[in-house]
Amino acid sequence: MLLDQNKFVVKSQTKGFSSKKAFEIVDADSGQVLGTAKDTTGFLPGLFGSTTIEVRDAASALLFTVGRTGWLLKKDQVHDAKGEVVGRYKAKMFSLSGGFHVYDKGGKHLAEIQGKMFKAEYKFVTPDRSAEMGSVSRTWGGLAKSLMTGGGTYGVQIDPKFAKDSTAKMLILGATIAVESIFKQKAGKSGGGDDEGGGSGGDD
């Protein structure tokens, strides 16, 4: 099962002239396809800036969704397969380097995202910055290196300490997909460039 793994390669899939994003999620060690992530946003929600990305396993079973909802006050959240909120992302509003904070459904601060998000070189650290939870990179070696071809491909690694934490995996994998399909698009529209953090609204 996808969420049983700890090392993924996420590959952007071209969909002709469609602006909707789609990704293939592959086991970095074996090359086996573990699942997909696809933009399933309806026409009307899309007009108001909402986005829904469904993450499914290889058997097409829904695992979780990551998306942006709301009209004036946008919310970037992850929902589990039952539609329950798992966590949310909030931009660092007062940070020169950009990035995001990650919270659970109760508002507890779970992680901070640091690094060059729009260049797929960043990491997830605990709120006190004492431990790394996961990382994203385009510079892996071994079999994963051969899988990471093209600008829309990158590796996601979960730290061993969080190997059995399915919630952390959903939030980390969800964030990497959101960077490519939601946050980067938002930054482009607002003229924010594509080097560092950025994204929608909240506190720091």
Q: Is residue 150 domain-resident?
A: yes
3-state secondary structure of 181: helix
Domain that holds residue 160: 2-86+136-189
Q: Is residue 128 domain-resident?
A: no
The model's pTM:
0.84
Report the Cα–Cα distance between both ends of the chain, in Å, rounded: 34
Q: Is residue 179 domain-resident?
A: yes
Alpha-carbon span 90 to 100, nearest angstrom: 5
pLDDT, tens digit, 9 for 90 and up, residues 7-42: 999 988 866 656 788 999 999 888 899 999 999 999
pLDDT, tens digit, 9 for 90 and up, residues 99-148: 789 999 999 999 999 988 888 889 999 999 999 999 999 887 665 665 66
Q: Please tell me the total count of domains within the chain.
A: 1
Q: Please compute the mean of the pLDDT values over residues 82-90 and round it to a whole number.
A: 95
Determine phi and psi for 180, rounding to 5 degrees. Answer: -80, -30
User: Residue 194: pLDDT above 80?
Assistant: no
Q: Is residue 8 domain-resident?
A: yes
Dihedral of CA atoms 168, 11, 197, 137 in degrees, nearest 10, equals 80
